[in-house]
Structure 1
Amino acid sequence: MVRLLRPFGRAVTYTRWLHLFMAVVWPAMWIFLDEAWAFVSVVPLAAAGLVPGMRVVEGVQARLLLTGHRPDDTTTDIVVAPSATWADRGRTVVWLEARLLIGSCVAMLTVQLPVLAVDLVNAARGGRQGEGSFLRLTGSGWWYGLLSPLPLLLLAAVVVGSGELITRLARRLLGPSAAERLSALEERTEQLLERNRIARELHDSIGHALTVAVVQAGAARAANSAEFTDRALTAIEETGRSALEDLERVLGVLRESERPVSGRPTLVDAVRLLESARASGAKLDAEVAGPLETLPGHVSREGYRILQEALTNVLRHAGAVPARVRVEVAEDALTLDVRNPLPDARAAPGRGAGLRGIRERAALLGGRAHTGPDGAGDWLVRVELPLG
């Protein structure tokens, strides 16, 4: 019983009822002139459905009254956008005619069923049946009173059932087309890729800064030298300031979804990255071959992050060991090599998020990445990124 009464406690049941009544307002106006005009109104209604903007009007009404969603909600079950194709226009026409037909039936039953209930009560009391009822009663008798609740129960079923029917039709006829679904899927994919990229940005930047801070603090404590401690604090300050700038930039992108991503470091800034690693105790032998400033922006930015993660891994896992860094710019590819001795020649390849991020960055640009022991007792990170 509670389940049967539950729909009547929801506001959307009555807004759907109102939505169906609104569909017959305009045709009903013609009835006062001539009943035939109510049927002639079907033709201009179909013509209105061919106007692209009509889909927006109907979509807004359907969202507000049929689903309870606001027009600016992210739900995509009912589209609030002009018709882009003739198929969209055709579905809008079918929607308008179906809404008119169902609305006319519901409006008629809404008026006639309560009248019928009153007629049944009058017939039970021996009174006369009123004019305008669509069902004529014969005779009179007390048993008519037993039937009087049935029209009201039927009206309740009509209100709930027609509301569910018109809502399903709206999702079908005013819902997104195949092209719109594909566009929404592509947009969602772009959002997920952007979130994944931001997560990698934070991991690489903040992880590098924390690694430098930990290594420098430990080295300063072990050295017990005021001069070394001063250099360590300077390196921590510079790395921390750079990480804060990266954090502010990423948070700005998250706050403003339409804000373009700019100001990210590139391989042209690799000198600062190498100096930060040297200040942290790494003994780097760096070689740069080719003009870094000619690299495409996306390749240079991702190359910087890959180099940063590779150097962070050297500091974190190997410590103050000699490392060789080679950056080579060729005509068709960028090659990054970072090689350092393993603390343990039997160490297994890493499976951390940093190495996975290096491989993901390379794969997104159509490149290749190798991370692991090279068989000669060294740990090797080698990445090739195409320039096309």
Structure 2
Amino acid sequence: MSGLLLPLTRAVTYTRWLHMLVGAFVPFVCALVYPGLVGLSPGERVLIGVVPLPLVLAAAMVPSMRRAEGLQARLMLFPGPHARVRTDEDPGVSAVPSASWSDRARTGAWMVLRMEVGLVVALVSNELLACALSLVGAAFGTPKASTLFLHVSGRGWAYALPAPVPVLVLILFVAGAGALMARAARRLLGPSLKERLAALEQRTEQLLERNHIARELHDSLGHALTLAVVQAGAARTAGDPDFTGRALETIEETGRAALEDLERVLLVLRETGQPAGARPALDEAGRLLDSARSSGARVDAEVTGPLERVPGPVSREAYRMLQEGLTNVLRHAGPVRIGVRIAVEEARLRLEVRNPLPAQTPVTGTGVGSGLRGIRERAALLGGEARAGRDGDQWLLHVDLPLR
């Protein structure tokens, strides 16, 4: 019994009812012109739902009608905060203009269905409410009355008992019709194949952007924290006030640079529409080398070829790869001797980072860390390749990137 009364307590039942009744507005307006609303034969009654068809189909050819119908369906056919039901489900109804003749055809089918169902709901609502009023009138001694579904010839208080029945039947009928219209809306107003592909592409771009931001944070903050840890450990071990001062100065500079990188990333996440600022490029690699040297590592750098010839995207990604390579050395091997080679050739950029293998750490040569994986992903996006592994008694990171 509670299941039968549930539609009475749901606001969505009444919003769907109103949505269907609005669909009957156009045919009733047209019926004022032809064939009328009073004294109609059965054939003329049918014309009320037939005469507006050309007008409705012509309106469906207007692209913006699909947007209007979609917005109405989203607002009135589907559960929302007003409906006391779950609100986290996607209604599956598009609210964009028609982009193809298929969209126009489906919009036309939806508008015709909404008009015809609206007519039926309006007529049933009128008759069942009239039945309820006739029973109430008979209970209060009103003369006999008749409707399409009921003929009341008597009078008396007993007629008040069945008076709620037509109303309950009407609510159940409206709830069922509304549920069917919601399913039809998903079929006829749902996103087209082109819209689904566009949504999938947008989702893919968002995931790629998240991965890119994750790599930026990993490389920048990981480098800064690694240097800070190495510098702090070296200062504690040295016990030299001068060395400690230099270490703190290096930690301060590295932290400031990391904060600048973090601000660039946060500007992108805020979606302010403002440029995120210039990311560091390979011509600023000296800052990375100096940071590594200040941590106690001996860095031998060899740079050949003009760095200014390297395109911006390649230069910026190469900077991050070099940063991650130096961070990995300091994190896993400590302040050891590091060999860095940057070569700008005719059509390629080659980057190498070498360091001696720590004796106490077993090395498999696979290079499966998240940092190395990020370097490979960056290289692959630029059409290049990156590999890392044992090279004799050293660990070698080699990156090969095309300049075009």
Q: Give the structure-2-normalised TM-score.
A: 0.86
Deviations 1:345-380 (A, max 9, x none): 732345432122112222222322212222x12111
For residues 272 and 75 of structure 1, the distance between their equivalents in structure 2, rounded to whole angstroms, comes to: 50
Deviations 1:2-25 (A, max 9, x none): 333333322222111111111112
Q: CA deviation at 1:314?
A: 0.8
Deviations 1:265-287 (A, max 9, x none): 11121111111111111111111
Q: CA deviation at 1:247?
A: 0.8
2:59 to 36, 44, 48: 48
The amino acid across from 2:4 in the alignment is L
2:370 corresponds to which residue?
Answer: 353
Relative distance call for 1:86 and 1:260 in structure 2 (3 A) is: farther
The amino acid across from 1:348 in the alignment is T
For residues 7 and 262 of structure 2, the distance between their equivalents in structure 1, rounded to whole angstroms, comes to: 49
Relative distance call for 1:126 and 1:330 in structure 2 (3 A) is: same
Relative distance call for 1:324 and 1:225 in structure 2 (3 A) is: same
Say which SS state the counterpart of residue 358 (structure 1) adopts: helix
1:59 corresponds to which residue?
Answer: 70
2:300 equivalent to 1:285: yes
2:179 corresponds to which residue?
Answer: 164
For residues 2 and 343 of structure 2, the distance between their equivalents in structure 1, rounded to whole angstroms, comes to: 74
For residues 3 and 386 of structure 1, the distance between their equivalents in structure 2, rounded to whole angstroms, comes to: 68
1:233 corresponds to which residue?
Answer: 248
* Superposition RMSD in Å: 2.9
The answer (yes or no) to whether the contact 1:76–1:176 under 8 Å persists in 2 is no
Say which SS state the counterpart of residue 371 (structure 2) adopts: helix
The answer (yes or no) to whether the contact 2:385–2:400 under 8 Å persists in 1 is yes
The 10-residue stretch of structure 1 (351-360 or 79-88) with the greater mean CA deviation from structure 2: 351-360
Structure 1 gaps, min length 5: none
1:307 corresponds to which residue?
Answer: 322
1:320 corresponds to which residue?
Answer: 335
For residues 106 and 327 of structure 2, the distance between their equivalents in structure 1, rounded to whole angstroms, comes to: 58
Q: CA deviation at 1:75?
A: 5.0
Deviations 1:225-267 (A, max 9, x none): 2322222122111111100001111111111164544411111
Q: CA deviation at 1:119?
A: 5.1
The answer (yes or no) to whether the contact 1:55–1:80 under 8 Å persists in 2 is yes
1:134 corresponds to which residue?
Answer: 148
Say which SS state the counterpart of residue 53 (structure 1) adopts: helix
Relative distance call for 1:336 and 1:2 in structure 2 (3 A) is: farther
Say which SS state the counterpart of residue 30 (structure 2) adopts: helix
1:4 corresponds to which residue?
Answer: 4
1:21 corresponds to which residue?
Answer: 21
**Identical counterparts, % of pairs:** 55
Q: Give the structure-1-normalised TM-score.
A: 0.89
Matches within 5 A, 1:120-131: 130-131=145-146
Q: CA deviation at 1:112?
A: 0.9
Q: CA deviation at 1:109?
A: 0.8
Say which SS state the counterpart of residue 77 (structure 2) adopts: helix
1:221 corresponds to which residue?
Answer: 236
Matches within 5 A, 1:1-388: 1-35=1-35, 36=47, 39-68=50-79, 75=90, 77-118=92-133, 130-131=145-146, 133-135=147-149, 137=151, 151-256=166-271, 258-344=273-359, 346-349=362-365, 350-374=367-391, 376-388=392-404
Relative distance call for 1:260 and 1:93 in structure 2 (3 A) is: farther
The 10-residue stretch of structure 1 (50-59 or 122-131) with the greater mean CA deviation from structure 2: 122-131
